[in-house]
């Protein structure tokens, strides 16, 4: 297995409930190392561009509103097989379908307010990381 980097967001529903540390503990317990992290308030334009892949889906406008509704914590996580491992510990998009012990099962409020984002491929991870971080901000 290769050491990979993935991009992660702790979403506004989780920062509002002060869950950053508990979510980070799940990442660290599962072999993911936080090699970059910052708390930001996303602008509408930033959120719209980030989620542009979903622009024709019925939930797009609501998702953009939600992602701009409070602070988020953007992160780069590093580890063996990091993209798949991160998605495994996040759990299914819909918390009602997420496996026991996953972050979304533990913490998500709804299919939209589902506490975390994770890249879906190594290629998209690189694009998403570059959208939020300069190289000097990532320290492995």
Q: Which residues are catalytic?
A: 117
Quote the CA–CA distance of 127 and 25 in Å, as a whole number.
25
Q: How far is the CB of 25 from ligand ATP (least distance, A)?
A: 19
Q: How far is the CB of 136 from ligand ATP (least distance, A)?
A: 26
Q: How far apart are CA 91 and CA 106, in angstroms?
A: 10
Looking at the Cβ atoms of 39 and 139, the one nearer to ligand ATP is 39
User: Maximum CA pair distance of the chain?
Assistant: 39
Contacts (CB under 6 A) with ligand ATP, residues 82-121 = 93, 111-112, 114, 117-118, 120
Site string for ligand ATP, 60-79 (x = CB under 6 A): ---x----------------
Count residues near ligand ATP (CB under 6 A).
Answer: 9
Distances in whole angstroms, Cα of residue 29 to Cα of each of 34, 86, 89, 94? 11, 11, 10, 23
| Own/partner pairs, 88-93, CB within 8 angstroms, 24+ separation | 88/30, 89/26, 89/27, 89/30, 89/32, 90/116, 90/118
Task: Calculate the alpha carbon distances from 20 to 9, 51, 58, 124 in Å.
Answer: 10, 22, 29, 23
Interface pick for ligand ATP out of 59, 80, 123, 137 (rule CB under 6 A): 59
Q: Closest separation between CB of residue 118 and ligand ATP, Å?
A: 4
Min. distance of Cβ 66 from ligand ATP in angstroms? Answer: 7
Give residues in contact with ligand ATP (CB under 6 A).
Answer: 59, 63, 93, 111-112, 114, 117-118, 120
């Amino acid at each position: 297995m290769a050491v990979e980097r993935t991009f992660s967001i702790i979403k506004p529903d989780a920062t509002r409930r002060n869950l950053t540390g508990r979510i980070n503990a799940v990442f660290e317990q599962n072999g993911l190392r936080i090699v970059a992290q910052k708390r930001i308030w996303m602008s509408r334009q930033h959120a719209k561009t980030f989620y542009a892949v979903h622009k024709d889906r019925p939930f797009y406008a609501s998702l953009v509103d939600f992602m701009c509704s409070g602070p988020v914590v953007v992160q780069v996580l590093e580890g063996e097989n990091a993209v798949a491992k991160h998605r495994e510990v996040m759990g299914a998009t819909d918390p009602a379908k997420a496996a026991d012990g996953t972050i979304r099962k533990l913490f998500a409020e709804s299919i939209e307010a589902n506490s975390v984002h994770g890249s879906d491929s190594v290629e998209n991870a690189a694009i998403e990381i570059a959208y939020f971080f300069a190289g000097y901000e990532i320290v492995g």
